[in-house]
Structures are given as structure tokens and as C-alpha cells.
Amino acid sequence: MSIDRRTFLTATGFAAAAPTLAATTATQLRRGEPFQMLYAPHFGMFGNHAKELDDQLQFAADEGFRAWEDNGMPGRDPATQERLGKKMAALGMTMGVFVAHADFGKPTFASGQKDHADRVLADIAAAVEVGKRVNARWCTVVPGSFDRRQDADFQTANVVELLKRCCDVLERAKSDLVMVLEPLNFRDHPNLFLTRIGQAFAICRAVGSPHCKILDDLYHQQITEGNLLPNLDRAWSEIAYYQVGDNPGRNEPGTGEVNFRNIFRHLHGKGFRGVVGMEHGNAEGGKDGERKLIERYRDADRW
């Protein structure tokens, strides 16, 4: 008497057990192996597994992460910055972005006002020193709010002019630091000047410097305009850095509507070998939630 494979597996009870066993074995084999891409966690993401900053870096490296980012790095004292930079270097981890300048309430770039410009230029000069201490190549710049007293075209001209001056600061310092401009979504951050990838692309082309590129945060862009892959393809030459967070919820891949496995496959296939910042929260709390976050990245990283 013949029996097909599905009938056999169901009859023996192995059908239900086999996927679980396979998943468990795959997880055991993958744990600690380097991810295919440079996904960059941040401090606090694995805070239930490690408390001290150095230990959080160590935990992430042991789990296969090869990059890190820290928006608040400029607020840490120089000795801590240098210590963390050395720790990352010892672990073979690439330092991703820190925030060089971000103002969510004032038209720091768009207004053309001298006091705003002086503050921005001072922030970029300070970022050069932070970058040296932590071996960073990229720093985030958010060009402030929209100036409702001026026509949009004049504001764009002001933004471009000030970015050129920022590039001059970096050139004079002989720094290889790259400012990455981050368009943010209008829902979470209303009234900001920079919101769209095409807008950022036009500005970077107008500035015309290797020191001024785009940070494409796919969480923000899914909300603002969607069309993620076509937009990153069209702006490819000006994008230097990516960040991710699923929508809705702004948590790890696999918790919302975005197909990050396809996105990561696409980026890798186009030759992107830079950092992908994990700019999001944890969908679930505690050690179990942190472990699930890692496994969701393993799943998204498998293509």
C-alpha cells in the first residue's frame, strides 16, 4: 500500500515537529555569525542583556552585529568617546552616525540668519573632533524647520548655501566626515524643511560635495511617500547611509508592513556595503524581546 509523504508526516506527528526543529537548528547555527550587512544597533537596545556601554558593544558583536550608531555621542565626554571608539575598533565594528546638528523648532538652515548659521557651523566643527575620537565617517544633519516668512525657493537657496559653508569647514579640517541629511516624516515631525528623498537629492546635487549626502530613513519615507525601492534607486548616487524601522510602530523589521528582506536583498545586490542603522524601538520588552529582535533581523537578513 502506497502512502504519500504528507499523509505519512501527518500520521506520524512529524509534520508539526519538523518545522520547529528546523527553525531551532537554524537559529543555533546562526547565532553569533556575522550578519550579511552592517546593521547598527544603539545603546539601550540590548540593555537587558548588558548594562555598561562597553558590555553592550561586546554583546552586540558576540551576536554578529558589525556596526553601531549613537545619536547622542556628542553629549558624552571626550574620554568616554575615545574609550568607546577603541572598543569598537577592537571588536571590528564600524561606527555609524551620530547627530551633528538637529533642531526641530527653528529654521536654522532655511532662514539665512547669521546667528543660526554660526551655531550650525560651530556644531559641524565640533563634529569633526567627535568623529576623530570614535572613528566615525558619517554624522546626521537635520536642517531645521520651515521658515513660513519666506518663499520655499529662497529657503532652499539658504539651505544649499549653508551646507556649502559646512563643507568648507570639513575641507579646512581635512576631515573625511560626511554629513548625511535626513528627511523626516510630517506626521511625527511637523513643520520641518526637509521631508522627501527627491528634495534631499536636489539639495545634495546643488551642494555638489562628497561631504554632503543623504540619510534615507526608510521608516520616515514609508510614511511620507512610500515607493521605497524606486526612490532609493533614483537617488542612489547621493545616498550614503540608511536607517530602518518598520511601520506602523517604528520597531524592528517583521513587526509592520515593510518587506525588509526584499529591501536588504536589493541594497546588497546593488553593491551597498555601508551601515544600516537600527533607528527604532523594541517591539517587546525584556531579554526575550531583545532576543526576538535579533531573530527578526536574522530572518530579514536571510535571502
Phi and psi at residue 176, in whole multiples of 5°? -100, 15
Spatial separation of the C-alpha atoms in residues 201 and 218, rounded to whole Å: 15
Asked if 279 is an active-site residue, the reply is: yes
Cis? peptide before 107, omega within 30° of 0? no
How far is CA 113 from each of CA 108, 124, 181, 207, rounded to the nearest angstrom? 8, 17, 20, 19
DSSP category for residue 182? -
Q: Is there a catalytic annotation at residue 225?
A: no
Closest CA to 203 of 239, 159, 243, 242: 159
190 DSSP β-pair partners: none
Single out the catalytic residue among 63, 238, 252, 279. 279
- 3-state SS record for 235-291: CHHHEEEEEECECCCCECCCCCCCCHHHHHHHHHHCCCCCEEEECCCCCCCHHHHHH
CB 243 within 8 A of CB 217: yes
Candidate list 69, 182, 238, 252, residue with the active-site label = 182
* Residue 303: all three cell numbers together: 535571502
**Residues making up the chain, counted from first to last:** 303
Write out the catalytic residue numbers: 182, 279
